[in-house]
Amino acid sequence: MFEDTIAAIATPLGAGGLAVLRVSGPRACAVADRCFVPAGRHALLPSAAPTHTLHYGHIVAAGRRVDEVMLAVMRAPRTFTREDVVEISCHGGVLPARLVLDALLAAGARAAEPGEFTRRAFVNGRIDLTQAEAVADVIHSRTELALAAANEQLAGHLSRRIEQLRADLLHVLAHVEAHIDFPDEDISPATRTVLLDRLDRGLALTDELLRTAPEGQLLRRGVRAAIIGRPNSGKSSLLNQLLGHNRAIVSPVAGTTRDTIEETANIRGVPVVFIDTAGLRAAGDEIEAEGIRRSRAALQQAELVLHVCDGGEPLHPGDTALFAEFAHKRRVLVRNKADQPARWDWPAELTGPRVATCCVTGAGIAELKDAIKALVWRGEVGAGMDQVMINARHQDALLRARAGIERTAAALRAGLPLELPALDLRLAVGAVGEIVGRTSTEDLLDAIFSQFCIGK
């Protein structure tokens, strides 16, 4: 249990209807008593209030009224942090929230670090590490699909699978270690079969979880898609169509876009960061040359390329050069200006998805979105996995665990001495434990919780 009481503004700073402040710790009610003046006939000080009740009154500091607030009292252990919690809703806006926070700090609370409330929830056993990470995922999710996956994880669906895996491995480890202690007693064929079954089940689950890693990363980080092509082919028009609003300047002048423009869109549930670029050609002036240089830099980082060709003009040799240049990239070939009579056909040797679009009518944009999703989303998240999608940290731990499980199974099958596999298996149990936070270091926790915002 923590000894100090922390406080923070839990809502984003800015003008708004309400701001919410959070106080958590053993002295949460005592801190609130010192700066909250309850109003009304049944006025109660927070420390005298029953748990899970709401109170009207004022926050005062140095004898002066700071704001009119609603104050909620929630006593341990039925709270997010499992500590006493006071939540104060004050007027929105930077200044009222800031003044209420100052009053709380003057009354004895300490300003919370980023993620400190969630960290307490984890350390006090309210949630495990995957659920703590899910809190951040929920906050940062950019599409409903990403939110659904984060909520699954928050609900403990990943935790349950990991705990099952860990229990299986511990079961095998107990047998193997007993056998090492009493080497004269052979593991009976029946027991061996049971142990191998458990290990195989562990491997299957590990693989199933590992297959969700690419989609998990997609949903969390989004995918970067560069829109490239010759000047005037309609790249900026296409960006606007994909975003659903006029973000980029469109004009008949070749060389309109000079700086790269980045904007995120929800493409069939996947967050896609589109990067509109300057048309690739021999530059007319210094500014355009810099724009083209930036476009090429953006291209290096892009996981996906939308190559836009002008359907109303004969195919330019510049496009043919770009076909070859980006042959190694995942790409969608777009023949834009499909409203105009076709002047050319796709070269036969080109592979990959092709879509015809018209940015005047919006024709073909739905097909383009489908093609983008099909390229990046492999559909590995099977029905049995619900919407569980692991992150990079889970992936790293599972890969280490997998190696240990495999070596143990191989040794067991071959009837080899079990000392070394026991070591491997113990490492595997440790790696699986890391995922849910059963084995964790301060460094790991710092790395995870520092990514949170203050007040979470």
Q: Binding residues for Mg ion, per CB under 5 A?
A: 235-236, 256-257
- Tell whether residue 250 is a contact of ligand GTP (CB under 6 A): yes
**Among Mg ion, ligand GTP, none, partner that 339 touches (CB below 5 to 8 angstroms by kind):** ligand GTP
50 in helix, strand or coil?
Answer: coil
Closer by beta carbon to ligand GTP, 189 or else 314: 314
- Tell whether residue 257 is a contact of ligand GTP (CB under 6 A): yes
Residue nearest to ligand GTP (CB): 279
Query: Near ligand GTP by CB under 6 A, which window of 228-236, 344-352, 387-395, 430-438?
Result: 228-236
**Among Mg ion, ligand GTP, none, partner that 337 touches (CB below 5 to 8 angstroms by kind):** ligand GTP
**Among ligand GTP, Mg ion, none, partner that 260 touches (CB below 5 to 8 angstroms by kind):** none
Q: Are 97 and 11 in contact (CB under 8 A)?
A: yes
- Tell whether residue 233 is a contact of ligand GTP (CB under 6 A): yes
In the complex, the smallest distance separating the C-beta of residue 234 from Mg ion, rounded to whole angstroms, is 8
- Tell whether residue 231 is a contact of ligand GTP (CB under 6 A): yes
Q: Which two tokens stand for residue 421?
A: 């596999």
Q: Which two tokens stand for residue 32?
A: 């609130």
Q: Are 270 and 223 in contact (CB under 8 A)?
A: yes
In the complex, the smallest distance separating the C-beta of residue 338 from Mg ion, rounded to whole angstroms, is 18
Cβ-based burial of 165 (10 A; exposed 0-12, middle 13-18, buried ≥19): buried
- Rounded Cα gap, residues 81 and 120, in angstroms: 5
Sheet-wide strand order for 85-91: 36-38, 53-61, 64-74, 85-91, 18-24, 6-9, 110-111
Closer by beta carbon to Mg ion, 47 or else 256: 256
Half-sphere exposure of 105 (CA within 13 A, CB side): 11
The CA-based dihedral angle spanning residues 239, 241, 245, 251, taken in that order and rounded to the nearest 10 degrees: 70
CB atoms within 10 A of CB 316: 17
Q: Give how many residues touch ligand GTP by CB under 6 A.
A: 23
Quick note: the x/- pattern for ligand GTP over 328-367, rule CB under 6 A, is --------xx-xx-----------------xxx-------
**Among ligand GTP, Mg ion, none, partner that 86 touches (CB below 5 to 8 angstroms by kind):** none
Closer by beta carbon to Mg ion, 25 or else 229: 229
- Tell whether residue 232 is a contact of ligand GTP (CB under 6 A): yes
- Rounded Cα gap, residues 135 and 132, in angstroms: 5
Cβ-based burial of 140 (10 A; exposed 0-12, middle 13-18, buried ≥19): middle
Half-sphere exposure of 4 (CA within 13 A, CB side): 12
Among 34, 235, 307, 456, binds ligand GTP (CB under 6 A): 235
- Tell whether residue 307 is a contact of ligand GTP (CB under 6 A): no
What beta strand segments (E) does 299-356 contain?
A: 304-310, 331-336, 354-356
Query: Near ligand GTP by CB under 6 A, which window of 70-78, 79-87, 98-106, 254-262?
Result: 254-262
In the complex, the smallest distance separating the C-beta of residue 275 from ligand GTP, rounded to whole angstroms, is 12
- Rounded Cα gap, residues 127 and 129, in angstroms: 7
**Among Mg ion, ligand GTP, none, partner that 252 touches (CB below 5 to 8 angstroms by kind):** ligand GTP
Among 25, 38, 57, 255, binds ligand GTP (CB under 6 A): 255
**Among Mg ion, ligand GTP, none, partner that 379 touches (CB below 5 to 8 angstroms by kind):** none
Pick from 98, 99, 127: nearest CA to 115: 127
In the complex, the smallest distance separating the C-beta of residue 256 from ligand GTP, rounded to whole angstroms, is 4
229 in helix, strand or coil?
Answer: strand
Closer by beta carbon to ligand GTP, 339 or else 370: 339
In the complex, the smallest distance separating the C-beta of residue 272 from ligand GTP, rounded to whole angstroms, is 18
Closer by beta carbon to ligand GTP, 216 or else 279: 279
Which residues on adjacent β-strands are paired with residue 58? 37, 68
**Among ligand GTP, Mg ion, none, partner that 234 touches (CB below 5 to 8 angstroms by kind):** ligand GTP
In the complex, the smallest distance separating the C-beta of residue 340 from ligand GTP, rounded to whole angstroms, is 6
**Among ligand GTP, Mg ion, none, partner that 241 touches (CB below 5 to 8 angstroms by kind):** none
Among 131, 236, 260, 295, binds ligand GTP (CB under 6 A): 236
Handedness of CA 449, 450, 452, 456 (dihedral sign): positive
Question: Beta strands 270-276 and 261-267: pairing type?
Answer: antiparallel
In the complex, the smallest distance separating the C-beta of residue 310 from ligand GTP, rounded to whole angstroms, is 8
Which residues on adjacent β-strands are paired with residue 67? 59
Q: Length of the chain, please?
A: 456
Binding site for ligand GTP (CB under 6 A): 231-237, 250-252, 254-257, 278-279, 336-337, 339-340, 358-360
